A and B are shown apart, each in its own frame.
Chain A
Amino acid sequence: MASSSASKRLFKEYRGLASDPPEGIAAGPVTEDDMFLWEALIQGPEGTPFEGGIFPAELKFPKDYPLAPPSMRFLCDMWHPNVYPNGTVCISILHPPGDDPHQYEQASERWSPIQSVEKILISVMSMLAEPNDESPANVDAARMWRERRKEYERIVRENVKKGLGL
């Protein structure tokens, strides 16, 4: 069976990430039998309450990737304004233009076929450092981040510890 253009492209990204991985990020298909389901690990950015944590997530790719973006979901507790309680990440790069709940966001920040797994993961890393609370996925986390920052950071740090099995 000739492989679809989507799995070829995913394989190329996998290959590139393996030979030249960005700092603090590891990602690849769960099994090489199926290029459409990946798992990723993201290191918590330094100088943030996420520091020291390793956050696992899964990425699910559509069959017409890269025309459409993957979805991404954290597989650990993640208390963050832009992460739904079920772990699903909501940032502009994961939304195609026109399909973005964040109307104010520029099209250039959104998904396009030239974006990549690497760019998504780097965006998510910077999202951890700088939440966008204008259209939050987790309203409670957003309010806490805005109004009770200390408490927000305490929960995040607890999750980091829990994630490390402490």
Chain B
Amino acid sequence: MNSTYDIPDSTDWLKTSLSAFEPLEAALRCQVCKDFYDTPMITTCSHTFCSLCIRRCLASDGKCPICRSSDQADKLRKNGAVQEIVDSFQAARPAALKLAREDVALREEHGAPKRMLKRKLDDTDLEEAEEQRPKQSRRTRSQNRVQDSSPPRLEVIDLDEDYEDDNGLVKCPVCNIRMKEESIWSHLDKCDGQSKPSSGRNSRSRSTPSVTNLLQRTPEKEPASALARLPQLNYSLLKENALRKKLQDLGIPALGSKQLLIKRHVEWGNLWNSNCDSARPRTKRELLKDLDTWERSQGGGAPNPAAVVMKKDFDGNGWATSNKSQFDELIANARRKRTPVEKVEMKEDAVDKMETTAAETREFYDNSNLHNDLRRPSEGNEDALSIIREKADQANLDGLTSRSIVNLASRANAHVNTVDEDVFLDAPRDEFIGNSLDSPLHN
């Protein structure tokens, strides 16, 4: 298990003093994988995705996932600016989040902030930004909610002495000119920020040199030996054996049906070519590991149940202790009434067949010693689970309803998990919900 299960999420900002960072972070994430852009590429239709994500999408249906325009992988271009923004944001994120969280804690201890003008200023800026922003499809629910449901917004940036008034004057945050407090609102409407900055603290004068420095310090370096991208093949024109030979030449497993060879070659092309795009290309051995992961989930080793099952120690009860909402109560009632359903074993011959198909391919990856440095699934999963528990506990403390999800998880476990379709259809319906006469929803 790699560390990706400890997932930072844009919603981490919601209950901090920097809730406006939630949409910022959401904008730095790929809409396909929901992760920070990794090797962002821009399409012909000017949409940006991770290289691997868009390559997989285009290999699958040849269309941009956002606007559905047709596009081709060889027309993708790097979006270096976005990469740089993401890198810088990620580097700044932990410290910024820590400060923003501490800030809220501090304010809660010491009551409301004293400088009301600062509050107003900040809120107005945000509202205006909000209105000016073109309507975007990626605006999330939480973004829309920022204004009404977030705790009082507390600023970090304008707490320095720059904003201290001087003879009753306040400084325009854009151009730094001092003026009477009552005139600042009308001034802000017109301010173009062009007036001479009086100190280096103006955000524009500050940011310009640092961006330049950044560019000078980290010029985009091409990999020492530019890697050659793999061309697409016309699989319908290739005989199975010729294709098998191609896979052998590429040094990837050449076993399985033609269908599987094609799927594997496509995925290898996605992995290989996105690695060519990357400013930090990885070794072929690492790419083979990724291909192995793909093989286990979608390729020749695919639906082996053992590969999916990790560890059965999930404690649903711990989450169910503090049910308050009607929603939760309903679920809890259902849980009490549940009747265990026997697990339906997978048909044995089906499993056998899958395992034989997988076995030889598996041999290839195993012989490549790709996994010597990886822990077993169950070991890694414990970490993941404890992180989730911690976060959900936190969410519960904050009065969110995430526990209902877990309740339903444990409730549903008894019914749905491995039940065969046909068994399912005949199952008595009321079993799923149970008797909830004492539910507050009963009225």
Contacts and interface: CB of A to CB of B under 8 A. Distances in A.
Q: Is B truly associated with A?
A: yes
Interface residues of A, number: 62
Interface string A111-132: 0111000100000000000000
Given A1-B293, A36-B308, A162-B429, A19 B404 contact: no
B101 to A, nearest CB: 14
Contacts of A162: 429-430
A37 B306 CA distance: 15
Interface stretch (A9-17, A136-144, A145-153): A9-17
A43 B302 CA distance: 35
Contact of A19 (B9, B52, B296): B9
A15 B65 contact: no
Interface in B68-118: 68
B439 A32 contact: no
Nearest to B380: A1
Interface in A3-25: 3-9, 11-22
A15 B376 CA distance: 23
Interface in A47-84: 52, 54, 56, 58, 63-64, 66-67, 75-77
Contacts of A13: 34
Interface stretch (B185-193, B249-257, B394-402): B394-402
Contacts of B310: 33
A28 B395 CA distance: 15
B405 A107 contact: no
B32 A113 contact: yes
B323 interface: no
A112 B63 CA distance: 9
Chain B contact residues, majority secondary structure: helix
A51 to B, nearest CB: 10
A45 interface: no
Contacts of A11: 5, 7
Interface in B198-229: none
Contact of B432 (A30, A31, A56): A56
Interface in B366-424: 371, 374, 376-377, 381, 384-385, 388, 391-392, 395, 400-402, 404-406, 408-409, 411-413, 415-417
A18 B402 contact: yes
Given A1-B293, A8-B4, A19 B430 contact: no
Contacts of A107: 68
Interface in B295-341: 296-298, 302-303, 307-312, 314, 327, 330-331, 333
B416 A31 contact: no
A20 B141 contact: yes
B395 A56 contact: no
A20 B392 CA distance: 11
Contacts of A103: none
B417 A15 contact: no
A89 to B, nearest CB: 15
A4 B294 contact: yes
A32 B406 CA distance: 9
B430 A165 contact: yes
Contacts of A12: 7, 9, 33-35
B37 to A, nearest CB: 14
Contact of B297 (A7, A15, A37): A7
A111 to B, nearest CB: 10
B88 to A, nearest CB: 22
B433 interface: yes
B1 interface: yes
Nearest to A114: B31
A2 B7 contact: no
Contact of A33 (B7, B52, B314, B327): B314
The 8 closest A-B pairs by CB, nearest first: A28-B405, A4-B297, A165-B435, A18-B402, A39-B412, A114-B31, A113-B65, A26-B404
Interface of A: 1-9, 11-22, 26-34, 36-37, 39-41, 43, 52, 54, 56, 58, 63-64, 66-67, 75-77, 86, 96-98, 107-108, 112-114, 118, 162-166
22 contacts: A1-B371, A9-B32, A11-B5, A15-B9, A16-B10, A16-B34, A19-B14, A30-B409, A30-B417, A31-B312, A31-B314, A33-B311, A33-B314, A34-B308, A39-B411, A41-B404, A64-B298, A108-B68, A113-B53, A164-B439, A165-B436, A166-B442
Given A6-B298, A75-B429, A165-B436, 5 more contacts: A14-B405, A19-B402, A21-B402, A77-B429, A97-B61
